[in-house]
Amino acid sequence: MTALEIAGRIVRQFEGCCLAPYEDVAGRWTVGVGHLIPPDQAIQDVTQEEADSLFFYDLSLADDCVTQAVTVTLTDNQRAALISFVFNLGCASLKKSTLLRKLNAGDTVGACQEFKKWDNAGGKPVGGLLRRRTAEAALFAKP
């Protein structure tokens, strides 16, 4: 299984799929598998085919971000964990993170410990995000 396939499984596990738009825990409108609806776009239902297409597009953007930001060699599991992280939090969050700084400095243990610090939405801890970060960290640490 490739890193992208592994990432897709963990993202789907935590995001689920909803064909009707909904507000996520941070108050952002979302549809499909965690696809953010731009503020200037009409909010409408999507088909399963559209949801899958948006999912693969968003997943590839997250993968591209990891490729651009990470300067060290990654295992498939490390890459998958980072793709899931970026899918959920965005590329800017990875690029400004201590997680990335530690990883690129060769401190994989320190980088792994940083995942759990990203469990807030709207400035408050969210149990579901902590579970996701814990799963991502476990995947990152897995050989």
Mind telling me the catalytic residues? Answer: 15, 24
- What type of residue is 25? V
Closest CA to 110 of 122, 102, 118: 102
